[in-house]
Chains A and B, each alone.
Chain A
Amino acid sequence: MLTRRQFLGTAAVGTATLLVWPKLTFAATGADTRFLFVLLRGGLDGLESVPPYGDPGYQAIRGALALSPSAAKPAHKLDSVFALHPSFNYAAQLYAQGQFMPVVAAAPPYWGRSHFQAQNCVENGTSKPDGSQTGWLNRCIASMPGVDGLACAAVMPLTMRGSAKVETWSPPLPTEVNPILLQRLQPLYAADTRLASPFARAVAQQNDSPVPESGIGMLASSKPGKKKQGGLPVMMGAAGTFMGKSDGPRVAFVEDEGWDTHANEAAIVTSKIAELDAGLKSFQQAMGGMWGRTILIVATEFGRTAHVNGTGGTDHGTGGSMFLAGGALHGGRVAGQWPGIGSGELYQNRDVHATTDFRSVFKGVLASHLGVSESLLASRVFPGSDGVAPIDGLVRSARAAA
């Protein structure tokens, strides 16, 4: 019996004219850039991911959770104040190449400490949890004629909901499809006017093998019924495989859960940041040559309390860290204004104050990297954000990669 790969290899000859991502015609414009948004649900601790070891108040307030470049498990030193969590090995290399940049003390405009509402705000792009039923990334795509989006998720996330065309992708079921069955289905679907094109693309996508080998391997080895399939290395790798193609989607979304570290934070953050770090690596590798035209943003709905709670963890807070990466990024520096964490400097005497509104970072990348006009950004993508200026200088140099 033929393997699926062999079968599809031959069958694809007949569908070769059907592009996986049709109607993308930007290549000639020189604006062939890529943008990935990664949302970490649960609230990543900014003081753990980007420890301000040089802040005089840091050691005292963090106690057992404090990290430092001079500790036994050293954090990666960035400058005289900040470091990266020890698990950020790959990110530290990217930082040295100017392709990674943390933003400290950042938050969405909502400061109410509810996961649900804060995530809504991060996703709907307004200052209110119920400010919109559509997502800013979808509205961004809708502002870019001819551009399609990709959400690496089984359920369309709010970030990507709206009128613009967005495909979803998630790891396939472990069930093998009999190639003969597929052969029989193809003419049936070809006769259904509504389903013919998406079905042909489904077959072509399988043929293009968008899942990195590591992804297939991980899925094959995962136990049936195991809750979590994928994880950031698989999902970011898959996003990169799609986006790395010359006709791939220009805008994509990946999400992850499990960042809500109320207890036993040191161990959880160590393994979760290692996943994110591996995700960065698999994404960069899958992007290949397209990496030079890429910026990605990693965000979380809020930071956590500056003080450690009674269970070796931290509770819901306000200002947190955000990360930018990519070959098109002007990185290798720490962005944002540090409000300090000494007495009197904390927000409500408990959280890191937020000095950067997420939307100023989003707007900065969308304006300078994707070419969305500032008027559209203020009116449509982030309505009500006139007072939130886009951050300049996030892109390495204008069209350097083109």
Chain B
Amino acid sequence: MGATGNAVTAAVNRFGLGAKPGDLAGAHDPRAWLETQLARGPDGAQFLAGLPTSIDYLRDEIQLFAIRREFKQGGRGRRDFLTGKMPGPPGDTKAAAAALKQALQPYRQEQRKDLLAEFSARIRIATGTATPFVERLVRFWSNHFAVSVDKFSARLFAAPMEREAIRPHVTGRFADMLLAVETHPAMLLYLDNVRSVGPDSRLGRRIAARLARDGDAGKGKAGGLNENLGREAMELHTVGVNGGYTQADVTEFSRALTGWSVAAKREFANGRQPDSAFVFRANAHEPGARRVLGKTFAEGGFEQGKAILDFLAHRPATARHLSLQLAQHFVSDDPPPALVDRMAKSYLDHDTDLAAVYRTLIESPEAWGSEARKFKTPQDFVTSALRAAQIDLQGRPQPVLGLLTTLGQPVFDPRSPAGFSDNSANWVDPDGLWKRVQAAEALSAHVASGGGEPLAFAQDILGPLLDEDTAQAIRRAESKRQAYATLFASPTFQWRV
């Protein structure tokens, strides 16, 4: 085995995001250090202030489509961004394409700037936060409710979902977080619920009538039930794949979720500004009672789906699924079942209160045992290096974003609603290790040239994890920069122990 830690390094590395100078000393009472953070909740407001809201982003998208539609002469005017498809430019003349491009240019630039600002804020919080345990939890839940920006329509919303739906509930009730996420535009767009129409809803009947009249000519074909969100909300977000649900449960739940949509053209018409990015569209909602996991939910519009979500949040299968994932994230790839059981009980006993589950976790001896260790994901690795050296990106996150992409964990881009893997087996491989050595070289170049004496720095960051061989290698480095590279590339630095 590699390095062996103690409770202080475990708190800072395994529960937190890695030490910044002084952290190890501050965490001399590890449990109290973690408890205090839970009481404080997430910080970082100063970095998030001024970022656009999801409503702002929706308005931008709608304006973008309006511009495209103006350039499109006739036909296919029904399309909007809810169908996930941009109308193309008119004709194929170069002049038309160039004019459209020019008209869109300011919006494109603005969106690029917004995305960089979002990512930049996220990285700066991780680098500087005084509540790294809470910040790790934010990222854990963000990945649990993964929205992948490789889906075009969702690309703007993954970062605001973390701010708007995850952060406010990270130490609150899971049931509240679940509702916030499933009503967030990011999830509704990513998992296609905005396109899901109840077949017997007013809209569904109208579409059916139009199809019957016009024939199946491929026009205006939007309509029909889409089970994407219903399935993933059960399989990934709540009860888990072995949670005892059937295809009938998925279909019923999906019917209940029809009508859950986002503010669109009409809500923004005439300069109006909606209060909520979420919109319940009663005309797309499938009427009738629904039966999910043996329980019947009366018709009630939005309240029906909300009640099912709350029911799912309180299932024992959900308690086990979430507790197992948390234990796998914070303790080991294969955590002790007794620990998971205790956390699940705490979850159910406290009305899905997450802080209670976290407390059970950190009060359990299994969380501090010598078997407890996790291999850093690329995001963990990069974040811990940025924290250690207090590297300030000065609002230019591109090099770090590129690094994360090359290391295999591009920000908000797991390419799957299941999120990035939390298992070492997916991250320990020769290619990944080699790139970490390269990344260590690159990161060491960013360490402030006035940085301290490397060995003292390594002691401050690794504490008792710094073994004699690693210390020796750092001592013998030919330059300060190479000493930092040695630290970041060392096997000890690759673990959360």
Contact = CB atoms under 8 A, between A and B. Distances in A.
A167 B430 CA distance: 8
Given A156-B408, A185-B490, A225-B398, A172 B89 contact: no
Contacts of A202: 430-431, 433-434, 437
A194 B416 contact: no
A205 B418 CA distance: 31
B409 interface: yes
Name the residue among A173, A195, A262 with the largest chain B CB count within 10 angstroms: A173
B486 A181 contact: yes
A62 interface: no
B39 interface: no
Name the residue among B409, B430, B432, B469 with the largest chain A CB count within 10 angstroms: B430
B405 A181 contact: no
Interface size class of B (residues with CB under 8 A): 35 or more
Contacts of B421: 156
B172 interface: no
Contact of B431 (A167, A185, A312, A350): A167
Interface stretch (B55-63, B319-327, B438-446, B453-461): B438-446
A181 B437 CA distance: 9
A345 interface: no
B429 interface: yes
A192 B2 contact: yes
A348 B219 CA distance: 10
B91 A310 contact: yes
B316 interface: no
B431 A170 contact: yes
Given A184-B476, A188-B473, A193-B1, A201 B430 contact: yes
Interface in A159-176: 167-170, 172-173, 175-176
A158 interface: yes
Nearest to A348: B218
A201 B426 CA distance: 16
Contacts of A312: 92
Interface residues of A, number: 53
B217 A172 contact: no
B216 interface: yes
A309 B478 CA distance: 62
B431 A195 contact: no
B424 to A, nearest CB: 8
Contacts of A213: none
A207 B332 CA distance: 33
Given A173-B442, A309-B88, A350-B218, A185 B489 contact: yes
Contacts of A203: 434
B390 interface: no
A348 B216 contact: yes
Nearest to B489: A185
Interface string A171-212: 011011110111011011101111100110111111000000
A225 B89 CA distance: 29
B482 A173 contact: no
Contacts of A175: 438-439, 441-442
Interface string A14-56: 0000000000000000000000000000000000000000000
A265 B228 CA distance: 31
Nearest to A206: B434
Interface string B1-23: 11000000000000000000000
Contacts, number: 152
Nearest to A316: B85
A130 B228 contact: yes
Contact of A263 (B92, B408, B413, B469): B92
A343 B402 CA distance: 49
Contacts of B486: 181, 184-185
B415 interface: yes
B202 interface: no
A221 interface: no
A379 interface: no
Contacts of B151: 116
A168 B431 contact: yes
Interface string A312-323: 110000000000
A180 B433 contact: no
Given A130-B231, A157-B415, A180-B478, A205 B408 contact: no
A263 B88 contact: yes
B359 interface: no
Contacts of B482: 178, 180-181
Contacts of B441: 175-178, 181
Interface in B466-497: 469-470, 473, 476-478, 482, 485-486, 489-492, 494
Contacts of A167: 429-431
Given A181-B482, A181-B486, A263 B231 contact: no
Given A133-B418, A177-B437, A264-B92, A187 B406 contact: no
Interface string A133-159: 100000000000000000000111110
A128 B422 CA distance: 25
A264 B232 CA distance: 37
Nearest to A350: B218
B180 interface: no
A70 interface: no
Contact of B89 (A114, A155, A311, A349): A311
Contacts of A194: 1-2, 375, 424, 428
Nearest to B437: A177
Contacts of A198: 428-430, 433
B406 A192 contact: no
Given A185-B473, A206-B434, A310-B90, A195 B494 contact: yes
Contact of B406 (A173, A180, A313, A350): A173
Contacts of B431: 167-170, 202, 205
Contacts of B418: 133
B407 interface: yes
A281 B96 CA distance: 38
B457 to A, nearest CB: 17
What 3 pairs across the A-B complex have the smallest Cβ distances? Answer: A202-B430, A192-B2, A312-B92
17 contacts: A167-B431, A168-B429, A169-B431, A170-B431, A172-B435, A172-B438, A173-B406, A173-B438, A178-B485, A180-B482, A181-B441, A185-B491, A187-B469, A199-B491, A311-B88, A311-B91, A349-B218
Given A167-B431, A195-B494, 9 more contacts: A168-B408, A185-B486, A185-B490, A189-B491, A225-B402, A262-B88, A309-B88, A310-B90, A310-B92
Interface of B: 1-2, 84, 88-92, 97, 151, 216-218, 227-228, 231-232, 241, 375, 398, 402-403, 405-410, 413-416, 418, 421, 424, 426, 428-435, 437-439, 441-442, 469-470, 473, 476-478, 482, 485-486, 489-492, 494
